[in-house]
Chains A and B, each alone.
Chain A
Amino acid sequence: MANFGRHSDDIINKVTVDDKFRSLFEKMLKEVIEEDRFDTLVSFVDLYMMGTIRYWCSADAFFNHPDHVDEIADLVRIKLMKKIVTGFIRKGENGVNNDPEGFKKWMFTVAKNTARDYFAYERNISKHQKELPDTEWNVDHDDDISDGITDGDGTDGDDISTTEDIFISDEAEEARRVLNQAFRIVMEGSSNVYIILTWVTSFLYMQVYYKSRIEASRYIREFGDKTLNELYEVVLELSKDVPWLVIDDDMKANVEKKLAAVSDIDDSRTYGECRFKEFYGENATARVSDWINKRNQRIINILRKKKDPSDNENGDDKR
């Protein structure tokens, strides 16, 4: 994988955990744990990671541009903020993880995985646009989707691993265990059945057909004139093509109970109606469709930017 190899590790190794680093690390922990702040956490990107991100981007003429470096840096800042507790502070069995050396490894692993996903994502978009010249960039296809889902802690491979190839997980079983647990939480949860079915259908569609979120979103819309029960049948069918996924009787019972409640009100109500009517009252503050739409918006913004480069020339927001 271009520029993620030994020389990349050499650059990372130049970042030493010295007194300044330790001081910032302690300040960061205090902010996150006691003050609900992330200022010092995100500052690690600017202080220690920009050179490495530039180096990763330099492997490919298409990505060797400050916009891409900035974009990846932004994504890393956000990811650090979202995963500092699950991926680092509470990573160990006991208490707070206060190992600055471990933090350095973790944050660079987060950055590396983020960059790798970004490159794959952008390459995919450019390929579908058929507007950009091909380059020598090769995305690592050795890790299939199920392997790529998680490493140890189930958080997108941001587990602290050894140096050679962090991305190819040897913990597929653990990843599947965590994913099954996630499915159980969703299917046995208290969310509306419309939300549950949207979620699991989208995910199963991507797992079975190796599709992206935006494609899954389009796929879901095809069920607009189908009932929720029919959508549920699709879920059960799709799940048969994901042999490691366990949907047991308790999970089914919860969903079927909710479906029965909907049917008691109106058994002809379609999935499409559920999307657009105030069927769930005021309590539904967010839906999976909102989530997917948020993701899609980023793709749309990128496509717009590439379709009309003058947006950038005019100094508009690059996103």
Chain B
Amino acid sequence: MTHITIEEFIDFVSIEELNDEAKALAAKVNGHILECSECLEKARAFQTIYDAMGKIDSAHIEKAFSAVKKKNAEL
């Protein structure tokens, strides 16, 4: 069984348009993870990271602003 690669997972969770390419990739990944529990867990993990990266919360950004400036200066 050929497992889904990290690159394919990244492309899969990054899909933002319903075009033929996206559908083909989704079909490949979904088809595989229906049968492969190892890749199913990986898919969930990649979705978790991707979704977490999308969280934008202006309140937190405001709160963290001073700390950001300080730490950036240190870098």
Contacts and interface: CB of A to CB of B under 8 A. Distances in A.
A145 B14 contact: no
A86 B15 contact: no
Interface in A70-108: 74, 77-78, 81-86, 89-90
Contacts of A203: 49, 52-53
B15 A81 contact: yes
Interface size bucket, B side? 35 or more
A172 to B, nearest CB: 13
Contact of A150 (B7, B27, B52, B61): B52
A138 B66 CA distance: 23
A12 interface: no
Given A86-B40, A212-B56, A150 B6 contact: no
Nearest to B6: A191
B23 A181 contact: no
B73 interface: no
B67 A139 contact: no
Contacts of A199: 49
A150 B51 contact: yes
B7 A141 contact: no
Interface string A286-307: 1010110011001000000000
B52 A33 contact: no
Given A85-B33, A211-B61, A286-B10, A78 B18 contact: yes
Interface in A232-267: 234
Contacts of B54: 117, 121, 213, 295
B51 A156 contact: yes
Given A36-B27, A85-B30, A210 B15 contact: no
Given A36-B27, A288-B10, A185 B45 contact: yes
Contact of B44 (A42, A120, A153, A210): A153
**Chain A interface mostly:** helix
A145 B60 contact: yes
Given A210-B61, A285-B7, A178 B45 contact: yes
A291 B10 contact: yes
A154 B48 contact: yes
B60 A210 contact: yes
Contact of B52 (A85, A179, A208, A291): A179
A209 B47 contact: no
Nearest to B71: A209
Contact of B31 (A36, A124, A286): A36
A52 interface: no
A148 interface: yes
A149 B51 contact: yes
A182 interface: yes
Interface in B22-67: 22-23, 26-28, 30-31, 33-34, 40-61, 63-64, 67
A86 B47 contact: yes
Interface in A134-150: 139, 141, 144-145, 148-150
29 contacts: A33-B34, A36-B28, A77-B18, A78-B22, A82-B26, A85-B30, A85-B33, A85-B34, A86-B47, A117-B54, A120-B56, A120-B58, A145-B57, A154-B48, A155-B44, A155-B48, A178-B44, A178-B45, A182-B49, A185-B45, A190-B6, A203-B53, A210-B60, A212-B56, A212-B61, A234-B75, A290-B10, A291-B10, A291-B50
